Structure 1
Amino acid sequence: MTEVTYHTLEAGNDEELHALKTMISDDLSEPYSIYVYHFFLSQWPELCNIAKLNGETIGVIICKIEPHRDVRSRGYIGMLAVKKEHRGHGIAKKLVRISIEKMIKAGCDEIMLETEVVNKPAIALYEHMGFIRSKRLYRYYLNQHDAFRLILPITSKSTVRSVYLQHSDQLAT
């Protein structure tokens, strides 16, 4: 049996990009335009990871890192998809772990995502990995489903309300 391989999306690899877009379109409830992909992939290409089996793309995760209110660094899991026939084999968990490790190395204080409240397998996956429900977002998705915002605290900064943390410009003075 061939093992699943994991790697960062290769810049300019149109075949992988097409496979990634097709998988996300098939599996996620939100439609994403080519601009959304380019937004993530042009700024954070190292945070787009692919799972392959026998040369076929079977899983993908797309993430980013940005400052949050100028007081902490927040990683964000924007999209995660695994082909239906390959679910239940730890592929999504491995993709999330790879991304978490990269975001921690990059200095993230916390990692956040949203998922539909009806997506019990995703909620179980993320909560098993230490994510905590922080908010329910009513009618968040185009299909009118609610979402849970989940946060994985990494540093002590993630446990302090933003208003109580000094802004980076105040630290310079």
Structure 2
Amino acid sequence: MEASKGAKEEEIEREKKVEFAASEIEYVSYGGEHHLTLIMGLVDQELSEPYSIFTYRYFVYLWPQLCFLAFHEGKCVGTVVCKMGEHRNTTFRGYIAMLVVIKPYRGRGIATELVTRSIRVMMESGCEEVTLEAEVTNKGALALYGRLGFIRAKRLFRYYLNGVDAFRLKLLFPQPKLHPSFPMISDREDTQRLKGRTDKRASEG
């Protein structure tokens, strides 16, 4: 009974809101194994899906520039872990694998800042879109990504181990526009133009 009471009090203590100014939060890029331990602790504590250490290393070793951590007074309070690469040989896509902010620090813009930083790197690296999965019951995450411009592309039934469905969310980056002085020429038009020049040279010869 006492053990149960103590666990309950500890849970309440963990969820107490913390007062802080936005300027007090420090955001850093992934810096090595000392950060990996912090990331694993946060994700294991807050997310429903279990991950092996090999999964974490896959992301942070190959795409350390897409992993960010948030600190408050030396304590790690949030993290985002992502990757990017070719999708079906047609699209260069970014992917948000994990996003965590511990309960006392939620609702203060930390998750938004973490995601925004990773998206900025993806865009600068040439990604055309960003995707992720979120539980259909996770209203906070769905609202956050909605504010950032993500749309619900697909519903994935019983996607998670706990049997909960997921939404696949997608953010499309605007395609770069050509300068007004540069005419837009399709591949077909360009081929026909080159063929015409070749035929003309042949007839002149």
What's the offset of the Cα at 1:155? Answer: 3.6
Return the match for 1:138 from 150, 157, 160. Answer: 157
- Residue equivalent to 1:33: 52
- Partners in 1 of 2:49 and 2:69 — Cα distance? 20
**TM value normalised by structure 2:** 0.73
- Residue equivalent to 1:56: 75
The 4+ residue runs of structure 1 with deviation greater than 4 A are: none
- Partners in 1 of 2:110 and 2:175 — Cα distance? 29
- Partners in 2 of 1:156 and 1:70 — Cα distance? 18
What's the offset of the Cα at 1:131? Answer: 0.1
What's the offset of the Cα at 1:66? Answer: 1.0
- Partners in 2 of 1:43 and 1:31 — Cα distance? 20
Bigger Cα Rg: 2
Q: Deviations over 1:35-58 (max 9, x none)?
A: 100100110011110000111100
Please state which structure has a larger fraction of its residues in helix. Answer: 2
Is 1:129 aligned to 2:148, yes or no? Answer: yes
> Residues 78-117 of structure 1 correspond to what in structure 2 (within 5 A)?
78-117=97-136
What's the offset of the Cα at 1:156? Answer: 4.4
Return the match for 1:9 from 10, 21, 30. Answer: 30
**TM value normalised by structure 1:** 0.87
- Partners in 2 of 1:147 and 1:121 — Cα distance? 14
What's the offset of the Cα at 1:19? Answer: 1.5
Matched-pair identity in %? 46
The one-letter code sitting in structure 1 at the alignment partner of 2:76 is T
Number of matched pairs: 155
Unaligned runs of 5+ in 2: 1-19, 177-205
Secondary structure of 1:107's counterpart equals: coil
Please state which structure has a larger fraction of its residues in strand. Answer: 1
The one-letter code sitting in structure 1 at the alignment partner of 2:27 is Y
- Residue equivalent to 1:72: 91
